[in-house]
């Protein structure tokens, strides 16, 4: 009888266990985002937290930036599905709903939100069960541009800040760029992303500073890139010029350009060849030493 009761108790308790593992959405700026135009939902950037659990849990975390041309957010195949993929091999994911033109915002709001997400994960590393030096950034399409901006425009934090989150570094420890927008004012630029981010008549100096292949230095973190030859929306030259800049700066980098797939393939599960990218990315992360478990890392 006691075994039956124990089994019944476990069955009844399982939904509670599942609930405890549910993603949690939190505002990035609880006291109001910088430059906020109001108090509506569009003015309140947030991130949804998908903490890894189980025997394969690592102490690695990735801040995920969905694409959408800086005019929207592809939260499904470039957000939720990506977080679930990371969780499947023990990585915690933090999917960011950053401000963009569709919400009434251009530069610098998106990078402010992306940097804030990285700082938030790092400041809360112990609470999230991750290591503060294993926090990467990943972006798709225009989110890839935003991730490349985070990888090339960062600071060590403000030691005099009253907000403890602002005291920590926003430099990602690695970057993963998926069919990213990179270069501005080039024949292969995704003009819609540039216009949504900067407007029609942006200062040339600002345009160059956000054409991120020109901003790579030896301090840029190790980077993984993938693109497809059939991508006419954001041509693969974007990834190529960033990879070349990484090579010149002697930054560890890996790039894959697959034959098949239109722009926006996400995990590309049904596309022969291109469907290999998630496993290649996982192997790259392992090679960086990002997927060691917490006990092995001494945490």
pLDDT tens, position by position, 77-110: 999 999 999 999 999 999 999 999 999 999 999 9
Average pLDDT, integer, range 254-259: 98
Side-chain half-sphere exposure of 1, counting CA atoms within 13 A: 0
pLDDT for the residue 292 = 83
Number of domains into which the chain is organized: 1
Of 208, 238, 203, 195, the residue nearest 100 (C-alpha):
195
- Domain residues for the domain of 126 are 24-297
In a domain, 120, yes or no: yes
Q: Is residue 298's pLDDT more than 70?
A: no
Dist. CA 245–CA 102, nearest whole Å: 31
In a domain, 265, yes or no: yes
Mean pLDDT (the chain, rounded): 92
In a domain, 100, yes or no: yes
Give the CATH number of the domain where residue 92 resides. Answer: 3.40.50.1820
Q: Is residue 260's pLDDT more than 50?
A: yes
In a domain, 107, yes or no: yes
SS3 letters across the chain: CHHHHHHHHHHHHHHHHHHHCCCEEEECCCCCCCCCCCCCHHHCCEEEEECCCCCCCECCEEEEECCCCCCCCCCHHHHHHHHHHHHHCCCEEEEEECCCHHHCCCCCHHHHHHHHHHHHHHHCHHHHCCCCCCEEEEEECHHHHHHHHHHHCCCCCCCCCCCHHHHCCCCCCCEEEECCCCCCCCCCCCHHHHHHHHCCCCCHHHHHHCCHHHCCCCCCCCEEEEEECCCCCCCCHHHHHHHHHHHHCCCCEEEEEECCCCCCCCCCCCCCCHHHHHHHHHHHHHHCCCCCEHHHHCC
Q: Is residue 17's pLDDT more than 50?
A: no
In a domain, 11, yes or no: no
In a domain, 16, yes or no: no
% of the chain with per-residue pLDDT over 90: 90
pLDDT band (50, 70, 90) for residue 3? very low
In a domain, 6, yes or no: no
In a domain, 203, yes or no: yes
Average pLDDT, integer, range 175-199: 98
């Amino acid at each position: 009888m006691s075994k039956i009761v124990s089994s019944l108790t476990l069955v009844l308790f399982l939904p509670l266990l599942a609930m405890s593992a549910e993603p949690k959405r939190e505002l990035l700026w609880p006291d109001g985002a910088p430059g906020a135009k109001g108090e509506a939902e569009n003015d309140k950037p947030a991130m949804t937290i998908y903490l890894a659990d189980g025997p394969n849990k690592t102490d690695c975390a990735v801040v995920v930036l969905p694409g959408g041309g800086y005019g929207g957010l592809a939260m499904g195949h470039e957000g939720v599905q990506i977080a679930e993929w990371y969780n499947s091999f023990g990585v915690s994911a933090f999917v960011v709903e950053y401000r963009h033109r569709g919400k009434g915002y251009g530069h610098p709001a998106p990078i402010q939100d992306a940097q804030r997400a990285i700082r938030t994960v790092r400041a809360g590393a112990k609470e999230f069960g991750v290591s503060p030096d294993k926090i990467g950034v990943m972006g798709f399409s225009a989110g890839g541009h935003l991730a490349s901006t985070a990888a090339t425009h960062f600071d060590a934090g403000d030691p005099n800040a009253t907000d403890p989150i602002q005291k920590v570094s926003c430099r990602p420890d690695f970057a993963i760029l998926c069919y990213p927008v990179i270069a501005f004012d080039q024949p292969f630029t995704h003009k819609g992303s540039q216009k949504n981010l900067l407007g029609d008549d942006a200062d040339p100096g600002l345009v160059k500073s956000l054409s991120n292949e020109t901003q790579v230095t030896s301090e840029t973190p190790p980077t993984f890139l993938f693109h497809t030859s059939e991508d006419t929306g954001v041509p693969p030259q974007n990834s190529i010029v960033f990879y070349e800049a990484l090579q010149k700066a002697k930054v560890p980098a890996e790039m894959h350009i697959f034959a098949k797939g239109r722009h926006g393939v996400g995990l590309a599960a049904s596309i022969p060849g291109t469907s290999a990218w998630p496993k290649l990315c996982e192997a790259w992360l392992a090679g960086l030493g990002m997927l060691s478990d917490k006990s092995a890392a001494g945490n």
